[in-house]
Amino acid sequence: MAAAPVWSVDPRTGKQREQVAVEATAQEVDAAVRAADAARGALADRTVRAAFLRSAAAGLEAAKDGLIETADAETALGPVRLTGELARTGYQLRAFADIVDEGAFLDVVINHPDDTATPPIPDLRRYKVPLGVVAVYSASNFPFAFSVAGGDTASALAAGCPVVVKAHPDHPALSELVAKVLRRAAAEHGIPEGVVGLVHGFEAGIELIRHPLVTAAGFTGSIRGGRALFDAAAARPVPIPFHGELGSLNPVLVTEAAVAERAEAIGSGLAGSMTLGVGQFCVKPGLVLVPSGAGGDRLVKSLADAVSDTEAGVLLDHRMRDNFVAGVQERAALADVDSPVTPGAGGEHTVSAGVLTVSAEKLAEEGAYDLLLEECFGPVTVVARYADEAEAKAVLSRLPGNLTATVQVSAEEAAGQGRGPELLAELTPLAGRVVVNAWPTGVAVAAAQHHGGPYPATTSTSTSVGGTAIERWLRPVAYQNAPTALLPAELKDENPLGLPRRFNGVLER
């Protein structure tokens, strides 16, 4: 049976633009993985690796105009948003190149023998080595930053791991263009082009996770799709790590003191965050706990006014649009759920942003209102009005793991007065990033960043953004009593590579 063609589709019209490729067969997936595995040795030299990453960043910037034009045609995210995302992607590649040069990620630890210890310590030398070929599953909503050249790919290559990317069907033409840029950058440094493989198709994604030469996987997408791949990774004869980002409600708690101080500002800020990118950010605030009373009323009015002024927008594809329209209709149909601004279809190809409100009491116990505690991908948020602290806590206690949790507090609470210190402790178990008096949309690429959270936000404790994302693709190995002549350069006493390390208990930089 012939493989199905892969089409580029315009989400503004729903029409096919061009045939990009065909879905990969099992044999083609195998060939891509084997080519990637064969390129492992070429990544061994950290100097070459870092230069490759910098060339990849430069190549993306040189191809900027064509890449953004193609990305906008396939995603409708707009040139302004896409230009920023492409810049972020280049910055991310260079940041990982710097990490490779520094070498701290290798986590070198050397212990000389100590016969006086109990038990005696032999000569031990430990560092981290790359796992091998990494499967990367592209995200729909970040065609640059979480796709072919995104964080999973950049961190895996930085770790010394070749990648095979499963392209997202929402931007196949862009995926092909970006892969070509990366392969050209690899060739500039004598690295085989197979170091970055690309396959299309649902079945190809299944074949990829099952391939015996694939040693780990990174995924950003839905709970359903991610869980299926996670289970497949665990069911292999040799299970592999699966670092998946699956979904997040990103709750917000607004205190009584905060609404008394700045209800309108919080409402307008929330509107900007939940409608950003037509609500297609993984950290969109989807549930907001707001106190009952006059202050809460002012906040909801400010939110509704701002959302009402938001123009209808195009989602990434018509399947997502249909799911959004059906999802908000089902939620709005629940008894005692109000719609200050009704979300739904904005036109034949667009959606309108909206706000749903409900009593927090309805969410505090298991039942039909559990639907409101599930992520709805698109420009909608649920405002739950709570009567007291106990009611707000009851709702928070029912939430699954999230990428973020946000608290809006007053100036006094921020200074440590009242319940201020308690609030962070209450939210910390819920999420990987706790935000105070800001909004979760916008994930900075920084050394201290953590983009992950308890399940189902992610399937591991790792981050997919920031320098420590590299740790996902490494494993530690220790050598005991190995003669100096047999040791890798990273573990020799004289430290010929000038690496940061811990030497006999002392941190050396």
Catalytic positions, written as ranges: 245, 282
CB atoms within 10 A of CB 424: 13
Report the distance separating Cα 217 and Cα 314, nearest Å.
30
Q: What are the angstrom distances between the C-alpha of 360 and each of 370, 388, 499?
A: 11, 10, 54
End-to-end CA distance of the chain: 59
Ramachandran region of residue 274, left (φ > 0), alpha (ψ -120 to 50) or beta?
Answer: alpha
Contact, 85 vs 443, CB < 8 A? Answer: no
Work out the burial of residue 266: count CB atoms within 10 Å of its CB; fewer than 13 is exposed, 13-18 middle, 19 or more buried: buried
Question: Cis before residue 212, ω within 30 degrees of 0?
Answer: no
One-letter-per-residue 3-state SS of 279-342? HCCCCCCCEEEEECCHHHHHHHHHHHHHHHCCCCECCCCHHHHHHHHHHHHHHHCCCCCEEEEC
Which element (helix H / strand E) includes 165?
strand 163-166
Q: What are the angstrom distances between the C-alpha of 321 and each of 334, 381, 390?
A: 21, 16, 37
Q: Are strands 506-508 and 501-503 parallel, antiparallel or unpaired?
A: antiparallel
Contact, 317 vs 472, CB < 8 A? Answer: no
Report the distance separating Cα 229 and Cα 417, nearest Å.
46
CB atoms within 10 A of CB 440: 24
Report the distance separating Cα 162 and Cα 42, nearest Å.
10
